[in-house]
């Protein structure tokens, strides 16, 4: 016999949050209900679902606003990375996202290295524009100066 439930979270292969689905009793009893991924269709469940949606939207707006503020700071900022060079200004090693994140940390800006998008590590001296993806809807450009020590 199939049970009709409302999904409280996205479940891969089954549906998205808020959808009504029919599943077997065992799947509901052993997987969905204990993990609070689904609930029986009731007024309380619908109310809880709406509350969760409003909280998520509020959190996303705050995250977006914080990302936009950080993007404005990064647009005005330039990051100088001194590196060791050999003959003919050839770098020993390369500059990667970790190096950029560490330099920003020294300037009191916390930024996860995974948000810095480099097509490939920087292997030459010069000025580079690096894309920083702060939020799915917010992207910033950061000027990176790679100079010899």
- For the chain, which domains are there? 2-65 (3.40.5.10), 70-148 (3.10.430.100)
pTM, two decimal places: 0.69
The answer, yes or no, to whether residue 69 has pLDDT greater than 90, is: yes
pLDDT, residue 88, reads 81
Phi, psi of 3 (to 5 degrees): -105, 145
The answer, yes or no, to whether residue 48 has pLDDT greater than 90, is: no
Shortest CA distance to 117 belongs to which of 127, 104, 132? 132
Pairing of strands 38-40, 2-7: antiparallel
pLDDT tens, 78-127?
889 999 988 887 888 899 999 999 999 998 888 899 999 998 999 889 99
């Amino acid at each position: 016999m199939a049970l009709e439930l409302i999904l409280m979270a996205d479940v891969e292969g089954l549906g998205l949050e808020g959808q009504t689905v029919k599943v077997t009793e065992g799947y509901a009893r052993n997987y969905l209900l204990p993990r609070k991924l689904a609930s029986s269709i009731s007024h309380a469940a619908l109310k809880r679902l709406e509350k969760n949606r409003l909280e998520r939207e509020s959190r996303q707006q705050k995250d977006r606003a914080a990302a936009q503020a950080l993007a404005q700071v990064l647009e005005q900022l330039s990051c100088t990375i001194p590196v060791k060079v050999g003959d003919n200004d050839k770098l020993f090693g390369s500059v990667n996202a970790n190096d950029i994140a560490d330099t920003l940390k020294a300037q009191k800006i916390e930024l996860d290295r995974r948000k810095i998008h480099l097509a490939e590590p920087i292997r030459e001296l010069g000025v580079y524009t690096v894309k920083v993806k702060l939020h799915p809807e917010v992207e910033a450009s950061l000027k990176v100066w790679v100079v010899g020590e």
